């Protein structure tokens, strides 16, 4: 081994160690957020458990909501039904675990997703994790790719550019996220939505169509049918949507044909 090859190897190994250290720092930061939400869930459960030792919890036989009330107030505060009853300890514990998990459990799943994405994609890319918005930024050659969990029904991925290499990157992200399918679906997150601008397209229109990208304005009817109209209706935006329940990308051509057939 000559001196030049030796120096290249030293530099490469040094860079590799530096990148691994940076990835571990990101994962530790994500894990810190995960531990925070676990503590929040414990606070929620413990508070309600302690309070149930002071005031008896009731359950509404009509809407199934559980609540604390006084002996003088015999109606359900959620639906006004008079059909309420004391709830036993076992059912109360199960209810408050489900209730507290519904408030913050989704964030625990998201942190697990982000940790796996960071482990797989940040070794050869500079990454940054934003704790306040649960967003992972990946710095690519063409710009910043952002993976965020701002909406409860979907994981959103903002694409800085769309070319053939990015198409492969999309499938790689989908495969990583799909490993958490069961937990995501349980917490109400069904879709991965990839978003791109017309100004950042570098593949043919035929390939865009084959890759199942759809314009959010012109495909509004289909976006509405998916229940995503509140989240991704931006003008001039192309989206590619992966449905984790069925394990496939939404095909706008098939949706158009099925709609015409229904008419």
The model's pLDDT over 229-246, given as tens digits with 9 standing for 90+, comes to 777 767 788 999 999 999
Q: Kindly report which listed range (44-58, 59-73, 152-166, 199-213) carries the lowest average pLDDT score.
A: 59-73
pLDDT score for 8: 41
pTM of the model: 0.83
Higher-confidence residue: 130 or 258?
130
Query: Domain residue spans in the chain?
Result: 1-106, 141-262
Q: Is the pLDDT of residue 63 over 90?
A: yes
pLDDT score for 243: 96
Q: What is the pLDDT of residues 88-130, one digit of tens each?
A: 999 999 999 999 998 888 999 999 999 999 999 998 888 999 9
- Beta-sheet pairing, 57-60 with 66-68: antiparallel
Joined together, the tokens standing for residue 188 give 């109400």
How large is the average pLDDT for residues 26-33?
Answer: 92
pLDDT score for 227: 84
pLDDT score for 10: 40
Q: Is the pLDDT of residue 3 over 70?
A: no
How large is the average pLDDT for residues 126-149?
Answer: 91
pLDDT band, very low/low/confident/very high, at 175 (cuts 50, 70, 90): very high
pLDDT score for 4: 47
């Amino acid at each position: 081994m000559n001196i030049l090859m030796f120096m290249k190897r030293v530099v490469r190994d040094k860079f590799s160690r530096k990148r691994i250290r940076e990835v571990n720092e990101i994962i530790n930061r994500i894990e810190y957020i995960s531990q925070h939400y676990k503590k929040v869930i414990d606070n929620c459960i413990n508070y309600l458990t302690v309070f149930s030792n002071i005031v008896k919890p009731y359950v509404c036989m009509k809407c199934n909501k559980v609540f604390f009330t006084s002996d003088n107030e015999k109606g359900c505060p959620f639906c006004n039904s008079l059909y309420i009853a004391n709830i036993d300890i076992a059912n109360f514990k199960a209810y408050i675990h489900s209730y507290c998990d519904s408030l913050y459990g989704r964030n625990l799943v998201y942190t697990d997703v982000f940790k796996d994405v960071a482990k797989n994609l940040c070794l050869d890319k500079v990454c940054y994790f934003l704790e306040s918005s649960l967003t992972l930024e990946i710095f690519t050659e063409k710009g910043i790719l952002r993976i965020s969990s701002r909406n409860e029904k979907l994981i959103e991925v903002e694409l800085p550019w769309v070319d053939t290499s990015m198409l492969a990157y999309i499938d790689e992200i989908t495969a990583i996220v799909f490993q958490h399918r069961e937990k995501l679906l349980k917490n109400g997150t069904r879709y991965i939505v990839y978003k791109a601008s017309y100004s950042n397209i570098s593949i043919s229109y035929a390939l865009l169509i084959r890759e199942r990208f759809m314009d959010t304005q012109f495909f509004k009817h289909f976006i509405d049918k998916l229940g995503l109209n509140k989240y991704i209706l931006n003008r001039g935006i192309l989206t590619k949507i992966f449905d984790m329940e069925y394990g496939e990308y939404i095909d706008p051509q098939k949706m158009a044909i099925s709609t015409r057939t229904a008419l």
